[in-house]
Amino acid sequence: MPSYTPPLDDIRFILHDVLDAQSLSALPGYEDVSPELIDQITEEGGKLCADILFPINQSGDEEGCQFDAGDVKTPAGFKDAYDMFAANGWCGVSSDPGYGGMGITVVLNTVMQEMICSANFSFGMYPGLSQGAYEALHKFGTDAQKETYLPKLVEGVWSGTMCLTEAHCGTDLGLIKTKAEPNKDGSYSITGTKIFISAGEHDLSENIVHLVLARLPDAQEGVKGISLFVVPKFLPECDGVGARNGVACGAIEHKMGIKASATCVMNFDGARGELVGEPHKGLRAMFTMMNAARLGVAMQGLGIAAVAYQNGLSYAKDRLQMRSLTGPKAPDKPADPIIVHPDVRRMLLTGKAFLEGARALSYWTGMNLDIAEKHPDADKRKEADDLVALLTPILKAYQTDMGTEVANLAVQVYGGHGYIREWGVEQYVRDARIAQIYEGTNGIQALDLVGRKMGQGYGRLLRRFFHPVQDFITENQMNVDVQEFIFPLAKAFAKLQQSTAFIAQNGLKNPDEAGAASNDYLRQFALVAMAYMWCKIVLAAQQKLKDGTGDKAFFEAKLKTARFFFSRMLPETDARFKMVLAGAGSLMSHEVEQF
């Protein structure tokens, strides 16, 4: 049976010592943020994830969701867990207190997302979708819409969805056909079918609030003709819910993974809806949900990697196979634990080095979301928002790729037992795989990075990352304690800048050049960002060792893991750099018939 222990020591170290998360208390509305509050929330959240959500993860996968004549029943235990989750305020951790939320920092919500996804990926889909609906309505809804929907979403008695995809179009939303006909009372009648709708129907909440993309009669073709509508399952009344709306679940998908998350076909048959935001500008509002969702998906990759690594490590310490190459390490036993073998250590350390660096990178992004929302200086808000916009496709793609990789490595550590369902780790591979696909495939994230983010504001977004990294290198290059880490960062960073210039120059001449380089460039960028975070981790760990506070072995392990990252993972940037410079020729020269 698998197990999960929230990595609270690592979380505290990143928040307190590496990133100084309590500095957010200087922002308006966050005055109560303190180390004590941060620890209290993460500890209580960890208990919920370990004691309530994790025990129903494997059984939820075995049972899956059940569809019956339009109704969807979630697996045993999910309803009780959701009720407890909502009753304790976890649906509104970072939501506006004006609508009943805790008003806690976004970065703490990011921490919760990681632990929830480690404990129960499928369960996390339900409140995760609600958070996206909340964000869109909070930013673009009318006052009446906010008063109607936000308190219920925050309380968790209503849940949310985002309805984009149709059978003939996924990424290309300009092709959607769902229609919105104006009614005399100012509402709209929504007609069409949406597919792959996570949490589209279930038995966890009393109402489901759908955010639906559709076209008005006067809409032009393409994405500029899309509007956004709020379409509830039950029409709201002053004391709760009223009549059933014209929206129903036609089927649920039978999937490779996340089987306890209901993935639905939703049929809208003249369903009553209200316009959210301006006509024909729905994609702008929907991107509020999508960007939040992409960062949430990045945390799914991190969360799956964390629990897969934990279980691989536990198995490697217990499983006896052969002797160490340098002689017996457990002479009192018939064989040594497999953790003595170099290749097993390679697999485990790949997971460990990814997790600890990506955790810092993710939490840093969460803190910048807080700054973008709360800082009193408009320029500071803009700088933070730019950085988040740049990092969003990088985190989504890299962390979900690595989530699958680390889950696969855990199966490999287990060997044949990893392929057997009862051990639980094969579920992590199946669950992780979707994160590379939805909310924009990872190929789309790479195109977003080179096609939109790189050139935006004449490179303004890139400068939000490049300048701090260059300043950091300059400030620390003479520090003998970190030179073994700073110099590899500086070399990798220089090659990232060269790749950036190459794509900018060649992509303008031939867009295929940018497209061909995009995946390798994103991976190169991610590894440099990880190296930057690892240098910050090293500095924090060294300071703790100098101070003589905390667990010495814990901080020494950080330095050893950093050495593994810089010697075994960061060199991938050299290969990615060469792939970027290889150009589009070998990719695009084949005629279709030659494949």
Spatial contact of 278 and 381, defined as CB atoms under 8 Å apart:
no
Max Cα separation, the chain? Answer: 84
CA-to-CA distance for 40 and 198, rounded, in angstroms?
31
Alpha helix positions (H), 378-482: 378-414, 425-433, 442-448, 460-476
CA-to-CA distance for 63 and 76, rounded, in angstroms?
8
Spatial contact of 241 and 179, defined as CB atoms under 8 Å apart:
no
Would you state the structure tokens that stand for residue 357, as one six-digit string?
């660096």
CA-to-CA distance for 450 and 456, rounded, in angstroms?
10
Let me know the angle formed at the C-alpha of 511 by 508 and 517, rounded to the nearest 5 degrees.
Answer: 100
Cβ neighbour number for residue 253 with a 10 Å cutoff: 17
**What secondary structure does DSSP assign to 506-528, as a single string?**
HHHH-HHHHHHHHHHHHHHHHHH
In angstroms, what CA-CA distances link 475 with 213, 479, 562? 49, 8, 19
Q: Which residues contact 274 (CB under 8 A, 6 or more apart)?
A: 142, 145, 186, 187, 188, 229, 230
Q: Is 155 a catalytic residue?
A: no
Encode 324-349: b = buried (16+ Cβ within 10 Å), e = exposed: beeeeeeeeeeebbbbbbeebeebbb
E strand or H helix that includes residue 585? helix 585-588
Cβ neighbour number for residue 115 with a 10 Å cutoff: 28
Q: Which residues contact 381 (CB under 8 A, 6 or more apart)?
A: 371, 372, 373, 375
CA-to-CA distance for 218 and 332, rounded, in angstroms?
80
CA-to-CA distance for 312 and 317, rounded, in angstroms?
9
Query: Angle of helix 572-581 relative to helix 483-509, nearest 10 degrees?
Result: 20
Three-state SS at 82:
helix
Spatial contact of 133 and 288, defined as CB atoms under 8 Å apart:
no
Spatial contact of 134 and 141, defined as CB atoms under 8 Å apart:
no
User: What 8-state DSSP symbol labels residue 281?
Assistant: B
Residue for token pair 């867990």: 81
Let me know the angle formed at the C-alpha of 450 by 449 and 453, rounded to the nearest 5 degrees.
Answer: 50
Taking alpha carbons only, the member of 81, 153, 154, 63 closest to residue 124 is 81
CA-to-CA distance for 284 and 322, rounded, in angstroms?
59
Three-state SS at 339:
helix
CA-to-CA distance for 440 and 336, rounded, in angstroms?
45
Would you state the structure tokens that stand for residue 229, as one six-digit string?
């509508």
Spatial contact of 2 and 424, defined as CB atoms under 8 Å apart:
yes
Taking alpha carbons only, the member of 131, 55, 67, 60 closest to residue 93 is 131
Would you state the structure tokens that stand for residue 558, as one six-digit string?
């950080």
Q: Which of 274, 439, 475, 513 is catalytic?
A: 439
By annotation, the residues acting in catalysis are: 439
